[in-house]
Amino acid sequence: MSKIQDCVIKNRWDILKEFTEARIGLGRVGVNLPTNELLAFQLAHAQAQDAVHLPLDVDSLSQELNNMPIDLKLLNMQVNETGLIQDGCTPILLHSKAQNRSVYLQRPDLGRRLDEHSIKLLENFKSEDITYDLAIVIVDGLSSFAIKENAVKYIKKLTLSLANEQDSWKIAPFAIVQQGRVAIGDEVASLLNAKAVLVLIGERPGLSSPDSLGLYLTYNPKIGLTDAYRNCISNVRLDGLSYDEAVNKSMYLLKESRRLQLSGVNLKERTQDNIIENSFDEQKNFLIK
Amino acid sequence: MTSPYRYTLGNRTYNFKNLAELMAKATPKRSGDILAQVAASSSQERVVAQMKLAETPLKNFLNEALIPYEKDEITRLILDEHNKEAFSLISHMTVGDFRNWLLSDETTTDIIKSVQDGFTPEMVAAVSKIMRNQELILVAKKAKVVKSFRNTIGLDNRLSTRLQPNHPTDDVVGIAASILDGLLYANGDAVIGINPATDNISQATKLLKLMDEVIQKYEIPTQSCVLTHVTNTIEAIENKAPVDLVFQSIGGTEATNSSFGFNLNTLKEAQDAALSLNRGTVGKSVMYFETGQGSSLSANAHHNIDQQTCEARAYAVAKKFDPLLVNTVVGFIGPEYLYDGKEITRAGLEDHFCGKLLGVPMGCDICYTNHAQADQNDMDDLLTLLSVAGCNFIIGVPGADDIMLNYQSTSFHDALYARKVLGLKPAPEFEQWLEKMDIFSDMKNFILNKKMPLAFSKPLNNLLGEIA
């Protein structure tokens, strides 16, 4: 009879774990997982399930946006070309028609629409003479953790890039939506008179990535548009797509959507078209060497 | 005018407005139909609807289109492709008779195959609504569907897997590491298929080259796929990328597919482009489709038809293009469509049953998200049931945790469990390759080699040498 520890067959290739977060090289007992790996999975699952129910800390997010340096060129077209930096922008706080998380999970239709109070708030901001090039809408989605970790850091870099563009960008006041789905950005932007909307939303938490931020761009946003009208950049987080890369991709899509006056399936993301062959040579697939 | 769909139980008469409403109310309970406000309002109404549905002649499904012929190209596809001669054998039956006929010992695999082109998606969806889980399993097992490209998938006592080595930034080394892990756990005969992190044609091309080089170097009898939009794949083919299979997510209404940004003509164009490359060795099935209950509702394109019937209609789209692989990503969309493990399990069995009856090579991504009431035990249950039902393939993800799509599926280990307890082998060509590569030490008893096979330890050692 073999000793208990002899039952576990280790995978020699487990050293490849340094190249991916994927659960590779777990080893086995027969064809099943070793006990430690089984329980590690159960723990990650429990944490992800809990993350879905963690509410967004709207106060501290507003505070962060308030303290964020922003180029005045983005807020007011009349400023001279050097621009001035001011501290912050008070966000508009909005809520979907889904009153709580339980309703939110089962009624995505309610998560896509603003409640009455929010609509009134936005109507107060709206003025017939002002149109914006872009609205930036922060939505809790399924992971408030993703918003807390990534939203402001990404917005800082994005607004810097926008301010450096030759063709000026005028951005609408930031909006924060609680219990929202992606499409709610379209309603917010159309009420603000914005030509395009970029939604920052907490993606559903994965076991290894409870903090993943998704970005959705719609040109000419209005209520009732389907996903075919949106472009998505996914998995923005420290261990995923970096803020710089996300901003590069965003800027490409923003500029192209403004030039072509469209978004969605007819707007292809081609930021890597020129560099991909080079990076492919550098980053080798060890299996074919 | 009163509807023909009436049923009197005791002193109460239930009226169902039309066939679509009857079908929706007869569906086993699920959250998506409640969300769409088409579900039965009580358990009794549900069973009454099932009783009325059982009395409904199959002919009605040809005379009463759930979405008008003029308004929907999927309805046109279904009715135009319907084979009246094949249907003649069952044309006198009601839905209830159809159930009895399917379960009968006399109705063999060959007979189902010969009558299959006479079924419509609505007929098979209807009959599934009045069947129990074990019946969905029993009939699906009879209705086997075999397809081939570089290997043969769907044969008796076989279970194939898609090796899904996704990575959140499409890192080449990270993806290669997951491919190695999958191959050494004997996974990947259905396809090595990557969901790319960004919807970018150069990215797709990079990943296609990566997989093509691995498949060629190790002479693996399998195929690769990058699961990007069909129009991207068409462009990649024009750019001479090594495309084996064309992928697209499909739904059961024209409006759903429009929301996905394609129509039937797009799929035809893609199929022709892939066939022109002539990369298959044992067959010419070049399409890979994914489906899932709830997609039409999610796209607001369901025409008040229940989500399971919409799903069955998607298989008519699949069938038209002779796919190698079709899988329902059963628990992917979330709890608003399938609330918990029980609903996911039922939906997985229905989807597999309906696809197989229509002649579609069904597999299943047995899966759930973290906001649903489900866990890995539910996946074990559905995996076991579908493996018994003769499911063509399942998904293999390292440790069942997809780090790009953020959901849980079945792992490489899980596939080996199912193969072991039920004696199911991979596709025959792949089985021979596993033997040749020393991946198993005892293939008969499904015992993996404790040592790393030589062909793979070399590149690993090279990599380690470089790092050191």
Average the pLDDT over A178-189 and give the result.
97
Of A272, A256, A198, the C-alpha closest to A232 is A198
pLDDT, tens digit (0-9, with 9 covering 90-100), for B173-185: 999 999 999 999 9
Is the domain A56-260 a CATH 1.10.3720.10 member? no
Average the pLDDT over B34-43 and give the result.
96
Residue A64's identity, in one-letter code, is E
Contact B370 A22 (CB under 8 A): no
**Residue A166 in this model has a pLDDT that exceeds 50:** yes
- Give the integer Cα–Cα distance in Å for B115 and B124: 12
C-alpha B440, offset from chain centre = 28
Which residue of A52, A233, A289 is in closest CB contact with B459?
A: A289
Tokens (6 digits) for A192: 């603000």
Q: Would an 8 Å CB–CB cutoff place B435 in contact with chain A?
A: no
- Give the integer Cα–Cα distance in Å for A238 and A161: 20
**Residue B232 in this model has a pLDDT that exceeds 90:** yes
Q: Alpha-carbon torsion B401, B404, B406, B407, what sign?
A: negative
**pLDDT of res. A282:** 53
pLDDT, tens digit (0-9, with 9 covering 90-100), for A115-142: 999 999 999 877 777 889 999 999 999 9
| A85: helix, strand or coil | strand
Alpha-carbon distances, residue B368 vs A48, A50, B68, B348 (angstroms):
12, 15, 34, 12
Predicted confidence band at A273 (pLDDT cuts at 50, 70, 90)?
A: very low
**Residue A276 in this model has a pLDDT that exceeds 60:** no
% residues pLDDT > 70 (chain A) = 89
Q: Which positions of B make up the binding site for adenosylcob(III)alamin?
A: 196, 248, 298, 404
Q: Can you give the pTM of this predicted structure?
A: 0.88
- Note every long-range contact of A112-117, with CB atoms under 8 Å and residues 24 or more positions apart, other chains counting: A112/A180, A112/A181, A112/A182, A112/A183, A112/A184, A112/A187, A113/A184, A113/A187, A113/A223, A114/A177, A114/A184, A114/A187, A114/A188, A114/A191
**Residue A284 in this model has a pLDDT that exceeds 80:** no
- In chain B, which residues fall in CATH 1.10.220.70? 6-142
Predicted confidence band at A79 (pLDDT cuts at 50, 70, 90)?
A: low
**pLDDT of res. A18:** 93
Nearest chain B residue to A10 by CA: give it: B450
- Give the integer Cα–Cα distance in Å for A76 and A67: 19
Of B263, B261, B288, the C-alpha closest to B274 is B288
C-alpha A110, offset from chain centre = 20
CA atoms within 13 A on the CB side of B168: 28
| B260: helix, strand or coil | coil
Average the pLDDT over A82-90 and give the result.
67
**pLDDT of res. A277:** 42
**pLDDT of res. A279:** 46
pLDDT, tens digit (0-9, with 9 covering 90-100), for A3-50: 555 799 999 999 999 999 999 999 999 999 999 999 999 999 988 888
Among A274-283, B128-137, B255-264, B339-348, whose mean pLDDT is lowest?
A: A274-283
Contact A227 B299 (CB under 8 A): yes
**Residue B247 in this model has a pLDDT that exceeds 90:** yes
Residue holding tokens 């289109």?
B65
* Test the A interface: residue of B161, B212, B413, B451 with most A CBs within 10 Å: B413
| B282: helix, strand or coil | coil
- Give the integer Cα–Cα distance in Å for B164 and B168: 12
Give me the residues of A, 141-180, that contact B with CB < 8 A.
142
Which residue of A52, A107, A228 is in closest CB contact with B260?
A: A228
- Give the integer Cα–Cα distance in Å for A181 and A103: 12
Tokens (6 digits) for A151: 């939203």
Average the pLDDT over B346-350 and give the result.
98
**pLDDT of res. A280:** 45
Q: Output the average pLDDT for chain A.
A: 88
Contact B370 A204 (CB under 8 A): yes
Average the pLDDT over B434-440 and give the result.
96
Judging by DSSP bridges, how do beta strands B440-442 and B447-448 pair with one another? antiparallel
The string over A230-249, giving b where at least 16 C-beta atoms fall within 10 Å of a residue's C-beta and e elsewhere, is bbbbbbbbeebbebebbbbb
Nearest chain A residue to B440 by CA: give it: A31
**What CATH number is given for B147-442 in this structure?**
3.20.20.70
**pLDDT of res. B216:** 97
Average the pLDDT over B409-421 and give the result.
98
- In chain B, which residues fall in CATH 3.20.20.70? 147-442
**pLDDT of res. A228:** 84
Q: What's the gap in Å between the CA of A75 and the closest CA on chain B?
A: 31
| Phi, psi (deg, nearest 5) at residue B331 | -105, 20
CA atoms within 13 A on the CB side of B184: 28
Q: Would an 8 Å CB–CB cutoff place A238 in contact with chain B?
A: no
Q: Would an 8 Å CB–CB cutoff place B30 in contact with chain A?
A: no
Q: Would an 8 Å CB–CB cutoff place B168 in contact with chain A?
A: yes
Is the domain B6-142 a CATH 1.10.3720.10 member? no
